[in-house]
Amino acid sequence: MAADNETTPTTPAATDLGNTSESAPVTQPAATTARETPKFSSRNLLPWFLFGLLAFGLYCAYMLLHPFVDTLILAVVVAALFHPVYAFFLKKLSGRAAFSALIVLFFVTVLVILPLTLLTGGLISQMRYSVTTVTAWLNEGNLDTIFTQYLNPLFDWINEEAPFLGVTAESAKADIINAVRRTGQKLLGLSANLVGQTLSFGLHFLLFLLALFFCLKDGSALVAQIKHLAPLREKQQEHILENLRRISKSVLIGGFLVAALQGLVGGIGLAIVGIPPLFWGAVMAVTAFIPVVGPSLVWIPAVLVLLFHDDWQNALFLAIWCSVLVSSIDTFMRPFLMRDSSGVPASFLFFAILGGIQAFGILGLLYGPLILTFAMVMLKIYADEFQEQLKNKDS
């Protein structure tokens, strides 16, 4: 009876085995799933769709603002430079942002724009006078006289010592005449263009003031929003903005101020000896951006012309004035005012300015250094972000 009442105990092993045998098919769908193609999901498409709409929206916005891009960029840069002044008035006026921004606009207009506008009016007349005078001087045969008395022996010596250069006095004379005539035509066309575009300049100036007002008033909130949207670390964002701010300050305050001072002091010296100061002083200011030679490209030929006319007293005065005063501005003031651009090599900055002028015109004086600085900052961020991978690559 005891044997009849005994039941075969169910061991855990038996139970597990039964369960395993029954659950064996569970492992098969995993292999089957690995061979199946993932189903298309709208969630996978959503980020790309949003990025596409964002890119399309930004492109449309760029097309709308394209005619005013230079004006807006210049307003942003000027706002960054004058932000300390704006912050000072904002504190003094108990947070009245709009009134503080209007005060800065008044300063910018009176101290920068108004003198520049008045200078442009006198510059156009002296530009035309100078082009006419130089053209008449060439037509009188003075260049032939200079070559006959001074330069022909030099070219003869060059042909004897280095005939492979193929440089002759006649070819050099023709090149000089053609260059002067082409430059004169461009300057006359530029002066006519400036007069014809007075209305356009006024419109862009008003847009510049409007953009500058809102950049000062709402600039901090706009920068905070851009930082929020940018997928960069806070330190990286600050590094980019700080470097762009420093190079803008160096170029506008350092480069442009030094160029303006050299043009002003050089123009005073030119006025004393009877040479039109506004036009040639402005040319001196432009050449101040060229390293090593700079304004000497203007005052040395002026000294030679005075000597050619036997006016050695004025020639000696102009040579001393420019070599001492004009050159000292570049020697002592430029390193001090452009010390914030020490992270950018001077040679790189020079090529950035030349390339910027070639690509963007006169605004390339600002765009070139900004673009170069941005590229160098991004290389620095890349090197910091992937330093471990770069070390492993070299090891």
Instruction: Give the per-residue pLDDT at 317.
Output: 93
- In this structure, the answer to whether residues 271 and 225 fall within a common structural domain is no
Give the angle subtended at the CA of 186 by the CAs of 183 and 187, to the nearest 5°: 85
Element (H, E) at 227: helix 198-229
- In this structure, the answer to whether residues 245 and 212 fall within a common structural domain is no
Does 37 fall in a domain?
A: no
- In this structure, the answer to whether residues 223 and 308 fall within a common structural domain is no
Residue of 209, 240, 246 whose CA lies nearest to 349: 246
- In this structure, the answer to whether residues 252 and 380 fall within a common structural domain is yes
Q: Give residue 361's domain range.
A: 231-395
- Copy the structure tokens of residue 232: 């960069």
pLDDT band at 3 (very low <50, low <70, confident <90, very high): very low
- In this structure, the answer to whether residues 270 and 220 fall within a common structural domain is no
- In this structure, the answer to whether residues 217 and 238 fall within a common structural domain is no
* Interval 346-373: pLDDT, tens: 667 777 877 887 888 777 877 888 888 7
Cα(232)–Cα(5) distance, integer angstroms = 77
From the centroid of its chain, how far is CA 281? 24
- In this structure, the answer to whether residues 346 and 288 fall within a common structural domain is yes
Does 159 fall in a domain?
A: yes
- In this structure, the answer to whether residues 106 and 174 fall within a common structural domain is yes
- C-beta neighbour count of 299 within 10 angstroms: 24
pLDDT at 239 over 70: yes
Mean pLDDT value across the chain: 77
- In this structure, the answer to whether residues 189 and 298 fall within a common structural domain is no
Answer whether 259's CB lies under 8 Å from 289's CB: yes
How many structural domains are present in the chain?
2
Give the residue from 229, 250, 269 where a domain finishes: 229
* Interval 100-131: pLDDT, tens: 889 989 888 887 777 777 676 667 777 777 77
Answer whether 207's CB lies under 8 Å from 71's CB: yes
Does 183 fall in a domain?
A: yes
Does 271 fall in a domain?
A: yes
For the ranges 11-15, 63-67, 110-114, the lowest mean pLDDT is seen at 11-15
Give the angle subtended at the CA of 189 by the CAs of 184 and 191, to the nearest 5°: 95
pLDDT band at 190 (very low <50, low <70, confident <90, very high): low
Cα(143)–Cα(43) distance, integer angstroms = 77
Cα(47)–Cα(59) distance, integer angstroms = 18
pLDDT band at 41 (very low <50, low <70, confident <90, very high): low
pLDDT band at 269 (very low <50, low <70, confident <90, very high): very high
Give pTM, 2 decimals. 0.62
